[in-house]
Amino acid sequence: MRPRIGGDRLLHVYTWILIAWLILPIAVMILFGFNDPQGRYNQTWQGFTLKWYGEVFALEALTDALVVSLLIAVATALIAGALGTGMGYALGRWRFRGAGALNLLMFAAIASPELVMGSSLLSLFVSLGAPLGPVSITIAHVMFSVSFVAVVVRARVVTLDRSLEEAAADLGASGWTTFWKVIFPIILPAILSGVMLAFALSIDDFVITNFTAGTTQTFPLWIWGSTRVGLPPQVNVMGTMIFAGGVLLAVLTNIRSRPRKKAA
Amino acid sequence: MDRVKRTLSPYLLVLPGGLWLLLFFAVPMATMLSLSLQEGDIVNGFVFTGHWQNYVDSISAYQTQLIRSLVYGAITSVVLIVLAFPVAYWIAFYGGRKKATYLFLILLPFFVSFVLRTISWRMLLTDDGVLLHPLKEAGLLPADFQILGTATAVIAGLVYSFLPFMVLPIYVALERIDPRVVEAARDLYASPLTSFRKVIFPLALPGVFAGVLMTFVPATSDYVNSELLGSSETTMIGQVIQAQFLSNSDYPTASALSFTLMTVLLIGVFAYARALGTEDVMKVAAR
């Protein structure tokens, strides 16, 4: 049933070319973490060294920025995880007045340009005279990631078999017990992937953070600021470590969830 | 009592998140709208005067950048469709058991910080960088050739940044096509090309639309790529808005521009949502 033109083989090659192109800048990032630049600019290859891996935390301001990013991402993941789970569960489980409006609000928050969300938040904070810093950044990050968590959880909740709840009720479980003993374990993987998504969105965000940070430096903001004065190789090392950690985590969770899928 | 609790529970669950979105998404938009109609400056403060002239002034002052952004965004989306469709098609129809692996490879850039990725991309395009230097040495390019600072560099950066957002929705749409539909077309003597044109492509269109939505909006409003890869000739509206907000503190002008940009983009988005539903976008977002 394949097209006889042999297009599939051509497309296969093309797919790999595109993947190579996507990976090329990542390879550059990894490579230049091993570079031994003489001046301030880590732009041309000048020799192999491992010293930046030893001195990865030597730049205090950069390390501080990374820590700030991590703390904000954890706070965002927890808050957006809790609020998004509530929304996702309610939207998947019940029909209620206002659900349509909420869906619209969530959709608008997902589809709006980050630039506009960031600048409008700055407008609000400026008008209120509110201080900018880690708190305003976290508020912003929860705002743009909560809908994603809700969407992920809702997608899982709508596929729940209602007879499970009925069975639990028949066995005398209260609504509360049914939720924690039956429903929650089933939707937990969706909640966790929503939480991880919120964490990833938060730690990588540049645009909205740029508007809501004031003088606070996060990892992406610090990198952005240093493009003018020359990017130190430590940034490449940190980028490589985050990349490796993320890939490892993704591969591990995928392997772990595979046998379960087969059993189901 | 139990019934009251049951009718109340969705509202109690939705309230904190909904309130957060209302307070920090909807209210800021209203604040920005109000700010865009104010007069004054950062030293003496701003006063609401219903000053529509802000819109007229800022749009006429920055129409070049505004139109340029829309053009760059549109070109980016079109290039992305052309680049992404064959890949999504191959993974969906020939990926076999390795589908997940291919999708994972397409998503690899997301494990690197967006700003850092763009900087690495700039290093590739830089005048005597890893890519251009060998080509110049070999005499394939003139010594003074440069990409950085041109519209090509900015659009190439945008295409690179948002490629996965085009592959995924098209893949989702193609993946949902029942192979029996294609078989039926073949049984009715449609050539491979005809069955692609008349069956597969129309069924993939919702995915293409979702992809356009997910790439056109961020590409048009992006300022990281144009700042790092472009020059004063390629300034996009995002750079203007960012500078007006963060450097010049000209909040009314910046707000008016930001609101104009959003209105233009959201008209497109909601027209799309009305015509085709938001299901596809939400589904992709959920992945």
Tell me the mean pLDDT in the region B148-152. Answer: 92
B216, part of any domain: yes
Q: Give the model's confidence band at A263: pLDDT under 50 very low, under 70 low, under 90 confident, else very high.
A: very low
B21, part of any domain: no
B16, part of any domain: no
B85, part of any domain: yes
By the 8 A CB rule, do B284 and B169 touch? yes
Q: CA distances (Å), B5 to each of A168, A175, B2, in order? A: 19, 10, 5
Q: For chain B, what's the residue count? A: 287
pLDDT number for residue A264: 35
Q: Write out chain B residues lying below 8 Å of A147, CB-based.
A: 21
- Contact map slice: A 106-165 vs B, CB within 8 A: 106-117, 119-124, 126-127, 139-140, 142-143, 146-148, 150-152, 155
Whether B113 sits inside 8 A of A44 (CB atoms) is no
Whether A111 sits inside 8 A of B130 (CB atoms) is no
pLDDT number for residue B287: 45
B114, part of any domain: yes
- Contact map slice: B 112-171 vs A, CB within 8 A: 112-117, 119-121, 123-124, 126, 128-130, 160, 163-164
Mean pLDDT over each residue of chain A, to the nearest integer: 89
Mean pLDDT over each residue of chain B, to the nearest integer: 87
Domain containing B76 — which CATH number? 1.10.3720.10
Token representation of residue A197: 């998504």
Q: CA distances (Å), B50 to each of A82, A113, A124, B54, in order? A: 40, 25, 18, 9
pLDDT digits (tens, 9 = 90+) for A16-45: 999 999 999 999 999 999 988 877 777 777
B74, part of any domain: yes
Tell me the mean pLDDT in the region A205-228. Answer: 94
Tell me the mean pLDDT in the region A134-162. Answer: 95
Q: Give the model's confidence band at A261: pLDDT under 50 very low, under 70 low, under 90 confident, else very high.
A: very low
Nearest residue, CB atoms, B14 vs list A102, A142, A200: A102
Cα–Cα distance, B21 to A146 (Å, whole number): 8
Nearest residue in chain A measured CA to CA from B220: A113
B64, part of any domain: yes
| Percentage above 90 pLDDT, chain A | 63
Q: Which of A70-79, A160-169, B26-35 has the lowest mean pLDDT?
A: A160-169
What's the domain range around B149?
53-286
Q: Give the model's confidence band at A262: pLDDT under 50 very low, under 70 low, under 90 confident, else very high.
A: very low
Q: Write out chain A residues lying below 8 Å of B20, CB-based.
A: 83, 142-143, 146
Straight-line distance from the first to the last Cα atom of chain B, in angstroms, rounded to the nearest whole number: 39
B213, B123, B115: which is closest to B165 by C-alpha? B213
Tell whether the model's pLDDT for residue B60 goes beyond 80: yes
B217, part of any domain: yes
Q: In chain B, how many domains are there? A: 1
Q: Give the model's confidence band at A48: pLDDT under 50 very low, under 70 low, under 90 confident, else very high.
A: confident
Residue A171, CB half-sphere, CA atoms under 13 Å: how many?
10
- CATH numbers and ranges of domains, chain A: 60-231 (1.10.3720.10)
- Contact map slice: A 161-220 vs B, CB within 8 A: 175, 200, 203-204, 206-207, 210-211, 219-220
By the 8 A CB rule, do A18 and B83 touch? yes
Q: Give the model's confidence band at A86: pLDDT under 50 very low, under 70 low, under 90 confident, else very high.
A: very high
